[in-house]
Amino acid sequence: MKTVLVPIDFSANSKRAMDYAVILAQKLEMKIILLHAYHPSKAEKISNSYRLWTEKTLIGTPEEMEFELTAWCHDVQSMPNAPACSSIFIKCDLLDEISYMVEKHIADLVVMGTKGASGLKEVFMGSNTARVIEFVSCPVIAVPDSYVFKEIKKIVFATDYHEKDISCIHFLGAFAKKMNADLSAVHMSDGELKPSYEIELLNYFKTEAEKVLESQKMHFHLLSGENVSLSLFDFITQEKVDLFALSLKDRLIKGSVFNRGISWRLAHHIQIPFLTFPMNEFSNI
């Protein structure tokens, strides 16, 4: 991976995401692109000389926004050990532009800020972040608006043993190595399968995962309990996890993890960044 893309809407949330991306880019030796996709209001489409007053008050003219985006880029460039940074201001739909940049291999990773009680709550309630996670074919890191950055020391990947989870672990192994972080995989058992079979599945998945991890160590955990989502949340809290990873693409609605109500409980409690993977192939670090 070479480039991390950070959508900017000039909010405190996107500033937090930008700061997070800078630290990642420094560790991963990546460059940063700041993107603002300006979507004109209906009034502006009718007449370029007319702008809604609320838009002027909260956002500004296109020229002002482009100037502000450039200023944010300069702020990044002025940081100690700053990664290379550029900015793109474009009049189009945000999702369309991000998808184009990913498909053309201009961007390999997206880092976005989220609003609300927590990042997961916003994703499952609907947002620009949710749209990007659902449709963009690269990993996405969502940073909750309440998050205060600390060094990434523990990364946890939630798995349902999907065959493409192995490529996610390949990515995470390289990611964790460069971040000097511990890496774990966790599977949540709801008691529907016999314990012996659950252990057999976990051991098989561990064997397959270790084939792509090379020298990077990974811990494997099997959680159980009547309340699966609470078990996962307790694990994240007790282990002081810094980054929570999921393969979400077509499990956002249909996956067994989320059918058991995990998303709703986590949405109200988790306060750490989370990384989502598309189900199709994507670039590794």
Banded model confidence at residue 195, pLDDT cuts 50, 70, 90 = confident
Instruction: State pLDDT tens for residues 260-271.
Output: 444 545 555 668
Provide mean pLDDT across the span 203-210. 92
Whether the per-residue pLDDT at 250 is higher than 70: the answer is: no
d(CA 151, CA 50): 46
Residue 37 contacts residue 164 (beta carbons within 8 Å): no
Using CA atoms, how far residue 275 sits from 13, 22, 165, in Å, is 16, 16, 13
pLDDT of residue 141: 93
pLDDT of residue 140: 93
Domains delineated in the chain: 3-143 (3.40.50.620), 154-246+254-269 (3.40.50.620)
Output DSSP code: residue 257. H
How many CA atoms within 13 Å lie on the side-chain side of 23?
12
Residue 216 contacts residue 185 (beta carbons within 8 Å): no
Using CA atoms, how far residue 172 sits from 6, 23, 80, 179, 216, in Å, is 20, 17, 26, 10, 10
Banded model confidence at residue 40, pLDDT cuts 50, 70, 90 = low
d(CA 20, CA 1): 17
Query: H or E element: which one contains 189?
Result: strand 182-189
* Phi, psi of 183, deg, nearest 5: -125, 135
Provide mean pLDDT across the span 216-235. 82
Instruction: State pLDDT tens for residues 132-159.
Output: 887 888 999 989 887 888 889 999 998 8
Q: Which residues pair with 186 in a beta bridge?
A: 158, 221
Q: Six-digit token pair at 42?
A: 């209906």
Three-state secondary structure call for residue 260: coil
Banded model confidence at residue 41, pLDDT cuts 50, 70, 90 = low
